[in-house]
């Protein structure tokens, strides 16, 4: 099942920043990495990733340089900047918060269906 377009768009920034937090990379490798990690569920069209990278670069979160690839062709590499690290930490807090809230809600609703599904210590 593919993710809805809005969710893909919303998660683009934290995904890119998180991948670049692990080291310098380039567009193609970033897309491959996202596909790999999501088991193919977050399938980006390329037309979407590059403008995201350029937008992040213009807002100063990442920086780029042109360098040679293994094949000798010029390739554009992206790297995280300090401001990007700060925004990534903020994104992380937000996503963990949303994740936590939804997790709690779903645990509660599962609990109301069957007490066996209640989180330890909680009652229906």
Partner 1 sequence: MFNLNEAVSIWRDSLKDADALSALDVAELEGHLREEAARVEALGLTSEEAFVIASRRIGSPHALNIEYEKADPSQAYRTRMYWIVLGMFGYWALNSLTSTVTTSVFLLGSGGYLPLGTAWAVYLLVWGLGMTVTFRVLVLISRGRLTSITAAIQNRYLRKYKLLVDVLVLAVAVPLAQHACRLLMTMSLYHSGLHNHQFDANLVAFAALVTTVASPMAIGILLYFLYSSRRVSAE
Residues in contact with partner 1 by the rule CB under 8 A: 26-28, 31, 45-48, 50-52, 54-55, 58, 66, 69, 73-76
d(CA 49, CA 56): 11
Question: Which strands sit side by side in the sheet containing 62-68, from one edge to the other?
Answer: 25-26, 74-80, 62-68
Closer of 26 and 92 to partner 1 (Cβ): 26
Closer of 5 and 82 to partner 1 (Cβ): 5
CB of 53 to partner 1, least distance (A): 9
Whether residue 111 contacts residue 122, with contact meaning beta carbons closer than 8 Å, is answered with yes
DSSP-derived letter for residue 3 is P
CB of 121 to partner 1, least distance (A): 48
């Amino acid at each position: 099942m593919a993710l809805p377009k809005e969710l893909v768009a919303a998660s683009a920034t934290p995904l890119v920043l998180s991948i670049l937090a692990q080291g310098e990379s380039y567009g193609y490798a970033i897309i491959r990495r996202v596909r790999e990690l999501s088991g193919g569920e977050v399938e980006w069209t390329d037309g979407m990733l590059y403008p995201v990278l350029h937008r992040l670069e213009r807002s100063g979160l990442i920086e780029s340089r042109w360098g040679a690839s293994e094949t000798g062709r010029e390739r554009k590499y992206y790297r995280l900047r300090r401001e990007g690290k700060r925004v990534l930490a903020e994104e992380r807090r937000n996503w963990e918060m949303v994740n936590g809230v939804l997790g709690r809600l779903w645990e509660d609703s599962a609990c109301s269906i069957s007490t066996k599904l209640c989180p330890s210590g909680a009652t229906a």
